[in-house]
A and B are shown apart, each in its own frame.
Chain A
Amino acid sequence: MPGIMVTPPVKITGFRAYTDLTTYQYCMVKYQAANVATVASANTDLVFGVLYNEPYTGEPCEIVPPGQICLMKVDGAAGAIVPGTRLASGSDGRGHSITTNVKRASAIALDNSAADGDIIAVALIPSDVSL
C-alpha cells in the first residue's frame, strides 16, 4: 500500500450487500435496488461511493459517499495512476485511470499506483464527469 494516508471519512449506513462483498473492501459501489448496493463493474457505472467494510450477502454496508477523502483499491497496472489521475471503475470495482470521453470518473487519485490491488488515497467526486 502506498504511503499517503487519510483521516477516517464520513460513512453512510442503510444499505445492505446485494451479493457477497467480503472481498470488495475499498472498491466502488453502485445502486442495485432500494437500500441495496453492489460492486461497480464498468467505467460507465453511476458510482455513489466506496465500500469500507466486508459484508456478506444481506449484511450492512459501510459506504463512503462523494466529497470525502478515503482509500480505494486500484489497478495501476492497467494504466499508470499518479496524483490527479481520474479514476473510473473496472470490472471488479477497482479504480482504473481513464482518459476516454463519456466514462464516469468517480475519484481523483491522491497517490501513485503501478500495480493491480494497490490501496491508495483518493478524493471521491460526483460520478458524472466526462473527460
Chain B
Amino acid sequence: MAGVAPDRPPVIMPGFVAAADLSAKQYHIALYSAANKLTVASAATDLMVGVIYNEPYTGEPIELVPPGQVCLMIVDGNAGAIVPGTRLTSDASGHGIATVTNLDRVIAIALDNSSAAGDVICVALIPSDVSL
C-alpha cells in the first residue's frame, strides 16, 4: 500500500447486502445487482456505484463508500501506469485500472501512484458516468 491517505474516514452508506460472497472483495469497485443488492464490477462500461469497504458474505450488509468521497481502492497499476490525476475504471475483477477510452465509465481519480496489480491506493470517487 502506498503512502497517500485521507485525513478522515469516508462516509459509509448502509442499506445494501452482498449478492454473492464478497468476503475477499474489500476495496473493490461495487456494481448494482438487484434491489438493495450489490456485487463486484466486472467491466469498464459498468455503472459503478462506489467501493466496498468491508468483507461481507452472501446476504450480509455491505459498507459502501459512495461517489464524492475520498477512500482506498484496490488497483492494477500493471495494466497501465497510475499517477495522481489518472482516471480509473473497473477491470474484470473490480480493480481500478487507468482508462483513456471513449465511453468507459470513470469511477475515480487516482491520488497516488501504482505500477503493480493489487496495490491499495487513495482515490477520489466521482459519479460513474463520464465519457472521455
Seen from chain A, the residues whose Cβ lies within 8 Å of a Cβ on chain B are 10-15, 30-31, 34-35, 37, 46-49, 62, 65-68, 126-128
Q: Does the CB pair B4–A12 fall under 8 Å?
A: yes
Q: Does the CB pair A48–B87 fall under 8 Å?
A: no
Q: Count of B residues near A, CB < 8 Å?
A: 26
The interface stretch among B23-31, B32-40, B50-58, B123-131 is B123-131
Q: Does the CB pair A66–B4 fall under 8 Å?
A: no
B109 at interface by CB-CB < 8 Å: yes
Mostly helix, strand, loop or mixed at chain B's interface? loop
CB-defined contacts of B126 to chain A, threshold 8 Å: 66-67, 126
Chain B residue with Cβ nearest A129? B130
Chain A: minimal CB distance from B41 (Å): 19
Given contacts A12-B6, A47-B85, 12 further A-B contacts (CB under 8 A): A11-B6, A12-B7, A14-B4, A14-B112, A35-B2, A35-B4, A48-B111, A62-B7, A66-B109, A67-B67, A67-B124, A126-B106
Seen from chain B, the residues whose Cβ lies within 8 Å of a Cβ on chain A are 2-8, 67-70, 83-85, 87, 106, 109, 111-113, 122, 124-126, 130, 132
